[in-house]
Amino acid sequence: MEVVGEASSATEAITLVEQTGPAILTLDIRLPDMSGIELARLLRQKWPGLKLLMLTGFDFDQYVRAAVRIGVHGYLLKDTPQDDLVRALRAVAAGGAVLPPRIASKVIQDYAERPANLPKRQLDELTIREIEVLELLREEFKNSEIAQRLTISVRTVETYIRSISSKLGAHSRADAVRIALAKNLIR
């Protein structure tokens, strides 16, 4: 095994993939310039043979579902012991897929509870950015603070909050946070 590069943003990662042609890329959900889910989607389109292993501190249902739908080859948490990470990388390199039991149970439960005729994308499914906004709402940030934190406009934050409330059937910001916590969309 050889590490051929390390990037601190999605833009750097794309450049490194172009320059080094790695067999496997490990990536996090949270990156400064785009989400790891968005990066994974882009990488799968541009380099379909590249193996992707999510290595993150977030096991929110929406993140796991999005990663699996994109076709990542593994989803591990950052508290995974080093020996298990090495085994996971070898398994992915050999063509396998890796999900720890608590992540695998989320995937199986999602498919078991979904009726066969349900469309792939449910109306109430939140986007990665909406989850990020929800997490900041939980921390009681004001719209202007959320906008600054995510480098988006206040109007865009307001649009996200309306969308979140609509998808969750919430009547207020606090209600949206309460529902999201109950559905394990945020912690």
pTM metric for this prediction = 0.66
Residue positions counted in the chain: 187
From residue 79, alpha-carbon distances to 27, 30, 82, 84, 85 in Å are 14, 16, 9, 10, 10
Q: Is the model's pLDDT at 122 over the cut of 50? A: no
pLDDT tens, residue by residue, 55-110: 998 877 778 878 888 889 999 999 999 999 999 999 999 999 998 887 787 677 76
Q: Domains, the chain, ranges and CATH?
A: 10-113 (3.40.50.2300), 128-182 (1.10.10.10)
Spatial separation of the C-alpha atoms in residues 47 and 172, rounded to whole Å: 42
CB–CB of 127/34 below 8 Å? no
Which H helix or E strand runs over 52?
strand 51-56
Residue reference for tokens 């606090």:
174
Cα Rg, the chain, nearest whole Å: 17
How remote is the C-alpha of 22 from its chain's centroid? 21
CB–CB of 15/42 below 8 Å? no
For 20-24, 37-41, 86-90, 156-160, which range has the lowest pLDDT when averaged over its residues?
37-41
Q: Give me the pLDDT at residue 16, please.
A: 95
DSSP 98: B
Q: Give the chain's mean pLDDT.
A: 86
Q: Is the model's pLDDT at 114 over the cut of 70? A: no
Q: Give me the pLDDT at residue 180, please.
A: 87
Q: Work out the number of other CB atoms within 10 angstroms of the CB of residue 90.
A: 13
Q: Is the model's pLDDT at 183 over the cut of 60? A: yes
